[in-house]
């Protein structure tokens, strides 16, 4: 039992029900009560990726997400898959237009009507700059090419705001940067591709905050469209349970962490959700863990009936109030970034990096279940080595030649695991 009388999230917001009248916000919800059940795969060999995909579909996945290079042969990956009945995600290293052309040719050869192909292609110049340290203007031209190639039901205007969460940003900062990210593309492209935007958010273990975060994102999107005088369109939100909360010790506990994160994302209204396997930290591919991750979707849908309820968080005083607070915090941050000249200028000035590094440092836990609190007796898995802690100064020196200081993903248990490894 916890003997504390009050609780707070890692970044300071108090967790307590507010017995007052809730704000009337009407944030909207996903188009249908059910959500897409996504699983991901990094493509190394095309036929092996195809075998993986067919197995995942046999077990009931409704969304497939492939990480691939533009030189890999897409028809081999998609062999015997009827694209009309799945949601296809393509995260591309290289030329997005080339991959989209390959997809169009494959659909034509398989006689798949283009207006029945659903999914997204992931080319996000801003996230690439934040991750690699290099701003590549040519990627903006790739988005222009994709606007002419991409079928109407396929999304190509991509905002990977989940990356900010993976680097330790608080919920408010993740939303504020997501909004600034969207603002950058709306300013550049206007109404082009407006109905083909999609946005990724990370889902952490604080379920009420995740509900409020996704609901707030819909309100913020609507408000941003108003400022541009653009029509209101649905923003597709893809969420993924974060590896940030996973530990390599007592790894079965990661199933519970993922369940908390997934519940928050589903109840908040994510259109698509990937529940990461509980072995994601220790193993690149684990068929049993992927099957269990998919089964967690089924528990939420077919035993908890979350696929039959629209916006179950609506009217909750605490969640509605937290939604409003996150909206105000995020909007203020996005306006500050706009005054700096936009999100790329904010990255070049290190304003974003300073904020996220500070928030990650503040949120890092001193205790972690199964690691140094009720530690697992089994020890770290054989062959697994936690990464060394990285100081900001060393990180900056390493990437001093870059245009931008790259953001660095964090995993909360890693430093504690490293201490245990040293003691072993």
- pLDDT score of 1: 36
**Per-residue model confidence as pLDDT tens digits over 29-61:** 777 778 999 999 999 999 999 999 999 999 999
Is 404 exposed, middle or buried (CB count within 10 Å of its CB: 0-12, 13-18, 19+)?
buried
Q: How many CB atoms lie within 10 A of CB 32?
A: 10
Closest by Cα among 214, 207, 281, 273 to 244: 281
**Per-residue model confidence as pLDDT tens digits over 143-153:** 999 999 999 99
Is 2 exposed, middle or buried (CB count within 10 Å of its CB: 0-12, 13-18, 19+)?
exposed
* Whether domain 25-327 has CATH 1.10.10.60: no
Domain limits, the chain: 25-327
Q: What is the DSSP string of 197-212?
A: EEEEEEE-S-HHHHHH
Distance, CA of 35 to CA of 417 (rounded, Å): 35
Residue with the larger pLDDT of the pair 413 and 180: 180
Question: How far is C-alpha 142 from the chain's CA centre?
Answer: 22
93: β partners: 69
Residues whose CB falls within 8 Å of the CB of residue 76, separated by 6 or more in sequence, listed in order: 46, 47, 49, 50
**Per-residue model confidence as pLDDT tens digits over 372-388:** 888 887 778 887 888 88
pLDDT above 80: residue 26:
no
Structure-block tokens of residue 333: 């941050």
Angle of CA points 190, 187, 131, to nearest 5°: 120
- pLDDT score of 226: 96
Q: Mean pLDDT over all residues of the chain?
A: 91
- pLDDT score of 21: 61
> How many CA atoms does the CB half-sphere of 225 hold within 13 Å?
17
**Per-residue model confidence as pLDDT tens digits over 237-293:** 999 999 999 999 888 999 999 999 999 999 999 999 999 999 999 887 889 999 999
Residue the block writes with tokens 């072995």: 279
Is 47 exposed, middle or buried (CB count within 10 Å of its CB: 0-12, 13-18, 19+)?
exposed
- pLDDT score of 4: 53
Mean pLDDT for the stretch of residues 298-322: 88
- pTM for this one? 0.91
- pLDDT score of 19: 47
Residue with the larger pLDDT of the pair 15 and 160: 160
* Residues of the chain above pLDDT 70, percent: 95
- pLDDT score of 65: 97
Closest by Cα among 176, 197, 177, 175 to 186: 197
Structure-block tokens of residue 268: 């908040």
pLDDT above 90: residue 176:
yes
Residue 386 has what DSSP assignment? Answer: P
- Run of H or E residues at 383: none
- pLDDT score of 62: 95
pLDDT above 70: residue 85:
yes
Q: 99-108, 132-141, 413-422: which has the minimum mean pLDDT?
A: 413-422
Question: In this structure, are residues 234 and 31 in contact, taking their beta carbons and an 8 Å threshold?
Answer: yes
E-only strand ranges, 43-84: 63-69
pLDDT above 60: residue 2:
no
pLDDT above 50: residue 161:
yes
pLDDT category of residue 24 using cuts at 50, 70 and 90: low
Mean pLDDT for the stretch of residues 320-345: 96
Paired sense of beta strands 118-122 and 87-93, if any: parallel
Angle of CA points 399, 200, 266, to nearest 5°: 140
Paired sense of beta strands 14-15 and 7-8, if any: antiparallel
**Per-residue model confidence as pLDDT tens digits over 201-220:** 999 999 999 999 999 999 99
Closest by Cα among 81, 123, 75, 74 to 99: 74
The total number of residues shown for the chain amounts to 424
């Amino acid at each position: 039992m916890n003997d504390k009388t009050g609780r707070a999230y890692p970044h300071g917001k108090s967790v307590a029900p507010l017995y007052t009248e809730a704000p009337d916000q009407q944030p909207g919800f996903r188009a249908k009560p059910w959500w897409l059940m996504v699983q991901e795969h990094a493509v190394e060999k095309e036929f092996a990726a195809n075998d993986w995909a067919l197995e995942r579909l046999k077990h009931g996945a409704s969304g497939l997400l492939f990480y691939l290079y533009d030189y890999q042969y897409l028809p081999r990956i998609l062999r015997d898959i009827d694209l009309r009945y799945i949601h296809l995600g393509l995260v591309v290293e290289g030329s997005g237009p080339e991959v989209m052309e390959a997809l169009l040719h494959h659909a034509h050869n398989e006689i798949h009507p283009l207006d029945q192909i659903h999914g997204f292609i992931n080319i996000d110049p801003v996230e690439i700059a934040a991750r690699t340290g290099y701003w590549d203007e040519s990627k903006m031209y790739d988005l222009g090419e994709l606007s002419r190639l991409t079928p109407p039901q396929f999304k190509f205007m991509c905002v990977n705001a989940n990356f900010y969460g993976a680097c330790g940003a608080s919920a408010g900062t993740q939303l504020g940067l997501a909004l600034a990210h969207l603002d950058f593309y709306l300013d550049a492209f206007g109404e082009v591709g407006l109905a083909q935007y999609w946005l990724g958010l990370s889902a952490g273990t604080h379920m009420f905050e995740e509900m409020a975060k996704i609901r707030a994102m819909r309100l913020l999107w609507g408000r941003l469209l108003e400022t541009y005088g653009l029509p209101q369109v649905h923003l597709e939100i893809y969420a993924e349970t974060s590896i940030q909360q996973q530990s390599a010790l007592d790894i079965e506990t990661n199933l519970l962490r993922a369940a908390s994160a997934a519940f928050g994302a589903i109840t908040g209204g994510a259109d698509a959700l990937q529940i990461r396997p509980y072995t994601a930290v220790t193993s690149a591919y684990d068929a049993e863990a992927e099957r269990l991750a998919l089964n967690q979707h089924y528990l939420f849908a077919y035993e908890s009936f979350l696929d039959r309820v629209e916006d179950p968080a609506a009217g909750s005083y605490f969640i509605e109030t937290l939604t409003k607070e996150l909206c105000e915090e995020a909007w203020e941050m996005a306006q500050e970034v706009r005054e700096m000249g936009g999100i790329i200028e904010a990255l070049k000035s290190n304003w974003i990096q300073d904020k996220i590094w500070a928030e990650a440092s503040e949120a890092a836990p001193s205790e972690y279940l199964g690691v140094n609190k009720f530690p697992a007796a089994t020890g770290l898995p054989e062959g697994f080595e936690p990464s060394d802690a990285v100081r900001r100064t060393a990180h900056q020196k390493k990437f001093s030649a870059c245009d931008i200081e790259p953001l660095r993903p964090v995993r909360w248990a890693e430093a504690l695991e490293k201490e245990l490894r040293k003691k072993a």
